[in-house]
């Protein structure tokens, strides 16, 4: 999901330790209760890329210049260590007023009462910019405890020259291929020394469960308050199609199975793989690393019964212990207005959740470098059942990932995969 890939490892951990140390040193304490002087808010940000950092810090500086009575202190955090640091600061009563994280991870803090319900703190106009399916990702026990603002969709990056040579037309930004068309085109693009696609499946679980929504595959089903894992035909569809590409059509490279998205780039630039299904953020590596003269295009998300995918947006939350929740919400609406959200998305090579922000992003970029595809993909992102399941992280680590890796390595059958996933659910969802 968001930021579980290689870029977390690139973050400046030393900076994070210093920045997060400030959280404990500058707790809410008595200073926040002083009525004279400006209201002071601390904002823990996980931005780390150069352009993203600049956008975040510039917006905070602009807010402070325009709002002398509400001053925001920017605190640098790190994706690798933020969960444990937040847990410690929440339990110690020293949490920052505003917290940057992701929807899949704030549920734990929300259920423990550490995050404020923003339902009545945000304006209707602001809330109306984001679709309900996206708001649902940050809603727990009927409480909205995070503002979703950046999304990561799954698209396809392709070698334009290889597509042209095989007579494969690039689909429009709002008209992606069906799975059947994608598989057929991968076959057309396969020849000696060249595979039609490379599925980077070092960490396959999130990818498979995200794309399973294409065929209404849920995996986690709740009935009468009890949640269990079920693997029927809808859940089997995506892994079966990927497996068929690997071993039946032989249009996908087996060597990519143990790779991350970044690991496939040398082979992609060298013409070994014509298409890379992966994160929309891969476009950044295309811009920064592609050799001179290399032509690449971004293809829209693949469609099954629909193009729906699971959304795990980055979020901004307000601490329940903050003595200035109203002012914090005021800052959030400013920080995430359409123009600012578009700038933040551009800095992170991700998709803004806001409808108007998407329109502004297309204007800002001219739709180039795949931004037209990225912006349109937001309409097909929604909450998935696995994101609401308390036992999902354990199931993913102990059962799903090893089972999927075995299946994609052709060591177990599809039915054996299903059995392992269901049995793992019984162990975790007791």
Give me the mean pLDDT over the 49-72 stretch.
95
pTM for this structure? 0.81
Q: Residue 27: is its pLDDT beyond 70?
A: no
How much is the pLDDT for 1? Answer: 43
What is the per-residue DSSP string for 216-272? T--SEEEETTEEEE---HHHHHHHHHHHHHHHTS--B-GGGGG--TGGGHHHHHTTS
How far the first Cα of the chain sits from its last, in Å, is 25
Exposed / middle / buried, residue 20 (Cβ in 10 Å: 0-12, 13-18, 19+): buried
Average confidence score pLDDT of the chain: 90
Name the least confident of 259-263, 306-310, 327-331. Answer: 259-263
Q: What is the pLDDT of residues 178-234, one digit of tens each?
A: 999 999 999 999 999 999 999 999 999 989 999 999 999 999 999 888 899 999 999
User: For the chain, which domains are there?
Assistant: 6-152+312-353 (3.40.190.10), 154-310+386-428 (3.40.190.10)
Q: Residue 325: is its pLDDT beyond 90?
A: yes
Task: Report the C-alpha gap between 349 and 206 in whole angstroms.
Answer: 19
Q: What is the DSSP letter of 28?
A: S
Of 256, 248, 151, 148, residue with least CA distance to 199: 256
How much is the pLDDT for 33? Answer: 47
How much is the pLDDT for 218? Answer: 96
Q: Answer for the pair 152, 273: CB distance below 8 angstroms, yes or no.
A: no
């Amino acid at each position: 999901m968001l930021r579980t890939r290689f870029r977390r490892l690139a973050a400046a951990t030393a900076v994070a330790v210093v920045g997060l140390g400030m959280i404990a040193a500058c707790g809410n304490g008595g200073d926040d209760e002083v009525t004279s002087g400006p209201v002071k808010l601390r904002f823990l940000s996980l931005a780390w890329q150069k352009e993203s950092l600049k956008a975040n810090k510039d917006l905070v500086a602009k807010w402070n210049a325009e709002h002398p009575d509400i001053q925001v202190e920017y605190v640098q955090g790190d994706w690798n260590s933020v969960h444990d640091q937040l847990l410690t600061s929440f339990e110690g009563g020293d949490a920052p007023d505003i917290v940057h994280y992701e929807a899949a991870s704030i549920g734990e803090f929300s259920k423990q009462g550490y995050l404020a319900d923003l339902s009545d703190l945000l304006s209707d106009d602001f809330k109306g910019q984001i679709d309900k399916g996206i708001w649902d990702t940050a809603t727990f026990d009927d409480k909205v405890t995070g503002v979703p603002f950046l999304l990561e969709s799954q698209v396809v990056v392709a070698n334009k020259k290889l597509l042209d040579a095989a007579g494969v037309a690039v689909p429009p930004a709002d008209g992606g291929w069906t799975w059947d068309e994608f598989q057929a085109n991968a076959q057309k693009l396969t020849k000696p020394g060249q595979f039609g696609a490379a599925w980077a499946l070092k960490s396959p679980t999130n990818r498979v469960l995200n794309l399973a929504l294409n065929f209404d595959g849920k995996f986690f089903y709740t009935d009468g308050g009890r949640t269990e894992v079920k693997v029927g035909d809808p859940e089997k569809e995506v892994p079966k199609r990927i497996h068929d590409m690997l071993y039946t059509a032989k249009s996908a490279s087996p060597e990519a199975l143990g790779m991350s998205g970044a690991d496939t780039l040398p082979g992609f630039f060298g013409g070994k793989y014509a298409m890379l299904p992966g994160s929309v953020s891969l476009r950044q590596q295309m811009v920064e690393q592609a050799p001179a003269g290399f032509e690449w295009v971004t293809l829209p998300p693949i469609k099954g019964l629909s193009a729906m995918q699971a959304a795990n947006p980055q979020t901004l939350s307000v601490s329940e212990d903050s003595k200035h929740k109203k002012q914090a919400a005021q800052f959030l609406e400013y920080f995430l207005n359409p123009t600012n959200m578009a700038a933040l998305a551009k800095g992170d090579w991700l998709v803004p959740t806001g409808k108007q922000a998407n329109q502004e992003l297309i204007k800002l970029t001219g739709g180039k470098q795949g931004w037209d595809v990225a912006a349109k993909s937001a309409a097909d992102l929604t909450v998935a059942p696995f994101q609401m399941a308390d036992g999902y992280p354990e199931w993913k680590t102990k059962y799903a990932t090893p089972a999927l890796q075995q299946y994609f390595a052709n060591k177990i059958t599809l039915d054996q995969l299903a059995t392992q996933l269901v049995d793992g659910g019984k162990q975790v969802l007791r």
